[in-house]
Amino acid sequence: MAPRKVLKIVIIGEKSVGKTSVLKRYVDQRFVPLKPTIGVDFVNKDVMVNDKMVTLQLWDTSGQERFRSLEISYYRGSDCCILVFDVTNKKSMEELKMWREDFIDKTGVQNPDQFPFIVFGNKVDDAEKRVVFEKDAQAFIRSIGGNIFYFDTSAKDATNIDEAFATVSRVSLQSQVPNEPPEDLIVIDSAAHRKQSTCCPM
């Protein structure tokens, strides 16, 4: 039996945009209030794409400045990058350009315009405080260029979480196997095995 494919996906963005909450909603189907990530953490989730069992290795990174030096070792080998911003904070969206460029620089991606990035505009449940709308986010993404997909999301009420990660899984597999057709994704195992990084608070 051929070894199962492992797709490495990193989740990056400014602090407090909800990266960990989005991941928890997808993996554990529950909402976890804001809790800063210390260094780097990851979870595994098994899914089936195009009749193939694959393991998503989802890396949750801290948005805090003091952990930026750790990123280079955790970015390498990624098949896809999720960029998260807070729709109630326009600056967090504008900073995505820097995050994307930093990822490209540290990983040495050969064809950055072809590498898959997925943008999550998180916290859409907070409609009264929303300042970045879908059309604004899409216009911003077009200005950056490249192979970027966009989803409005909410970790709190699960808006578009499964749909967004379905796209993440498909494009990640295509990134590893360029000719892989983008068939529908079926989640078959919601259990995840957490591994805490060896990084400690400074």
Contact in structure between 194 and 59 (CB atoms under 8 Å): no
User: What string of DSSP letters covers 147-158?
Assistant: EEEEEE--TTT-
pLDDT attached to residue 201? 36
* Predicted confidence (pLDDT) per residue in 54-95, tens digit: 999 999 876 554 445 555 678 889 999 999 999 999 999 999
pLDDT band at 131; cut points 50, 70, 90: very high
Mean pLDDT of 122-129: 97
**Distance of alpha carbon 39 from the chain centroid:** 16
The predicted model scores a pTM of 0.82
Output the pLDDT for position 60. 87
Task: Say what percent of the chain tops pLDDT 90.
Answer: 57
Q: How far apart are CA 79 and CA 1, in angstroms?
A: 23
Instruction: Give the domains, in start order, of the chain with CATH numbers.
Output: 5-177 (3.40.50.300)
